[in-house]
Chain A
Amino acid sequence: MQNAQDMWHVGRHRFTSRLLVGTGKYADMAQTKTATKASGAQIVTVALRRVNLDASRGPSLQETLDPKIYTYLPNTAGCATAKEALRTLLLARELGGWNLVKLEVIGDAQTLYPDAHETLEATHMLVKEGFEVMVYTTDDPLNARQLEEAGAAAIMPLASPIGSGRGILNPHNIRTIIAQSRVPVLVDAGIGTASDACTAMEMGCTGVLMNSAIACAKNPVLMATAMKHAVIAGREAYLAGRMPMREAASPSSPMMGKIA
């Protein structure tokens, strides 16, 4: 059960669930709805795309995931420049007034790595426009610090490339970013299975954002449930304070009084 006392803040918003989910790559809207519900997520990322004018359209995303129940986090997926990102988010704000947004400016189609320069420029522009910007970035602590100084509401370093499912490749960098940041740090991209999410939370991440890990699992709804538990388990382990690692063994049963 999620602890109502352990809320987290981003911008002017407060949330209980520390699992944020994307809404892409599902088989259909029914699966999107069921998996998202199973995850317990309160925040869902959404993309902005042209309406298909000719084909008959099935249920819309807003019919499937009620924006009054879920906090929509519009993303800038597909944008290659700061200007494109700003235009996308201004359109999203016109659509529904959302101010809390996810910024991603991808610099390379092969690796889907963020373009550090455009991302920083976009952060400055968006903050000036009054957006609360959760920024997808590399696990470079210097990039993360620059983005925070530019006014990012949250720093979202990748664990590994988008959709790769390889887990946290550089835990040292993630820990460094967590230690230096005064805004929430959420691992975003590269989570592959429940233990990856749990590990991120044990390190002290505020939350985790994932899409492929759930949608591309053999059983997305079951994986969504697993991720929900993993994020809670990792968070509680972090709050509990783990035992120290020791060089030598230390018996769990006392030696005194043992039978001769």
Chain B
Amino acid sequence: MIGANIYAITACMLQLTINGETRHLPAGSTVADIIRDARIDVREVAIMVGERIIARSAYGVTVLHSGDAVEMVSFIGGG
């Protein structure tokens, strides 16, 4: 049934924000996954989830949850 399928799909998806933008990701997604999806070099990015700064060594094991507010930042030119 369609209703059951929609329920199954939404149960497998997260809704969170990355840099203020709403994103839907598969359940179990990690910080490493979103860095890879953004096609950015892992050495050029720093990540916060809520108020926590995530250590680079923990990117692969930090699982994201619905409602998380992720900040993905890098260096740019500035004075």
Q: Please give the residue numbers on chain A whose beta carbons come within 8 Å of chain B beta carbons, in ascending order.
A: 22-26, 32, 45-51, 53, 57, 60-62, 72, 74-75, 77, 87, 90-92, 94-95, 162-163, 189, 211-212
Q: Of all chain B residues, which has the CB nearest A162?
A: B79
9 other contacts beyond A72-B75, A91-B73, A162-B79, with CB at 8 A cut-off? A48-B73, A48-B75, A51-B40, A53-B18, A60-B44, A61-B76, A61-B77, A91-B48, A94-B46
Chain B window 37-69, contacts with chain A (Cβ cutoff 8 Å), 1 for yes, 0 for no: 010110111101000011110000000000000
**A-B complex: 10 closest residue pairs judged by Cβ atoms:** A47-B78, A22-B79, A211-B79, A23-B77, A50-B19, A24-B77, A95-B46, A91-B46, A46-B75, A24-B78
Which residues of A lie under 8 Å from residue B78 when comparing CB positions?
Answer: 22-24, 45-47, 49, 75, 77, 211
Residues of B within 8 A of A62 (CB): 41, 43-44, 74-75
- Chain A interface mostly helix, strand, loop or mixed? mixed
- 20 example contacts (A-B, Cβ-Cβ < 8 A) are as follows A23-B79, A32-B77, A45-B78, A46-B78, A48-B75, A49-B74, A49-B76, A50-B19, A51-B73, A51-B74, A53-B72, A62-B43, A72-B75, A87-B53, A92-B75, A94-B46, A94-B55, A95-B45, A95-B46, A95-B75
Judge whether B77 and A50 touch: CB under 8 Å. Answer: no
Asked whether, in the complex, the Cβ of B46 is within 8 Å of the Cβ of A50, the reply is no
A90 to B68, CA, bound (A): 20
**Inter-chain contacts of A22 with B (CB < 8 A):** 77-79
Q: How far is the CA of A11 from the CA of B60 in the complex (A)?
A: 35
The tally of CB-CB contacts under 8 A between chains A and B is 98
Say whether, besides A94-B46, A95-B46, A60 and B41 are in contact (CB < 8 Å). Answer: yes
Q: How large is the interface on B (under 10, 10 to 19, 20 to 34, 35 or more residues)?
A: 20 to 34
- Shortest Cβ distance from B34 into A: residue: A53
Does B71 count as interface, using CB distance less than 8 angstroms? yes
Chain B residues proximal to chain A, CB less than 8 Å: 18-21, 38, 40-41, 43-46, 48, 53-56, 71-79
A22 CA / B76 CA spacing, docked (Å): 10
* Alpha-carbon distance A47/B38, docked complex (angstroms): 20
Cβ contact of A53, chosen from B19, B46, B48, B77, cutoff 8 A? B19
Please indicate which of the listed interface residues A32, A61, A95 has the most CB atoms of chain B within 10 Å of its own CB: A95
Are the C-beta atoms of A51 and B45 separated by less than 8 Å? yes
For residue B72, which residues in chain A have a CB less than 8 angstroms away from its CB? 50-51, 53
Take A51-B40, A62-B44, A94-B56 as given contacts and tell me if A212 and B79 are in contact as well, using a CB distance cutoff of 8 Å: yes
Q: Which residues on the B side are within 8 Å of A72 (C-beta)?
A: 75
Inter-chain CA distance A8–B78, complex, in Å, is 24
Pick the most buried of B19, B74, B77: most chain A CB atoms within 10 A of its CB: B77
Instruction: Tell me which residues across on chain B come within 8 A of A26, comparing CB atoms.
Output: 77
Determine whether the beta carbon of A53 is less than 8 Å from that of B21. yes
